[in-house]
Homo-oligomer: A and B are copies of this chain.
Amino acid sequence: MRVVALAGGVGGAKMVDGLAQALPPNDLTVIVNTGDDFEFLGLKICPDLDTVCYTLAGIANPSTGWGRADETWNALENIVALGGPGWFRLGDKDLGTHFERTRLLKTGCSLSQITDRFCKSWGIIHRILPMSDDPVSTIVCSNQGEIPFQEYFVRLRCEPKVIGFKFNGVKLARPSPGVLESIKQADLVVICPSNPWVSVDPIISVDGIFDGIKPQVVIAISPIIGGRAVKGPAAKMFVELGIKPSPAAVANHYGSKQNDGILNGIVIDNVDEIYKNQISELGFEVLITETVINSPSARLQLAQNVLLFGRNLLESFT
Contact = CB atoms under 8 A, between A and B. Distances in A.
Chain A binding surface, main DSSP class: helix
A103 B41 contact: yes
A106 B85 CA distance: 14
A83 interface: yes
Interface string A48-88: 00000000000000000000000110111111011111000
B95 A95 contact: yes
Could you say which of A77, A78, A83 has the most chain B C-beta atoms within 10 Å of its C-beta?
Answer: A78
Contacts of A155: none
Contacts of A102: 41-42
Contact of A72 (B72, B79, B104): B72
Interface string A221-249: 00000000000000000000000000000
Contact of A121 (B41, B72, B82, B104): B82
Contacts of A91: 74
B96 A74 contact: yes
A76 B96 contact: yes
A72 B92 contact: yes
A117 interface: yes
A256 to B, nearest CB: 43
B71 A74 contact: yes
5 contacts: A42-B103, A74-B91, A75-B96, A81-B96, A92-B92
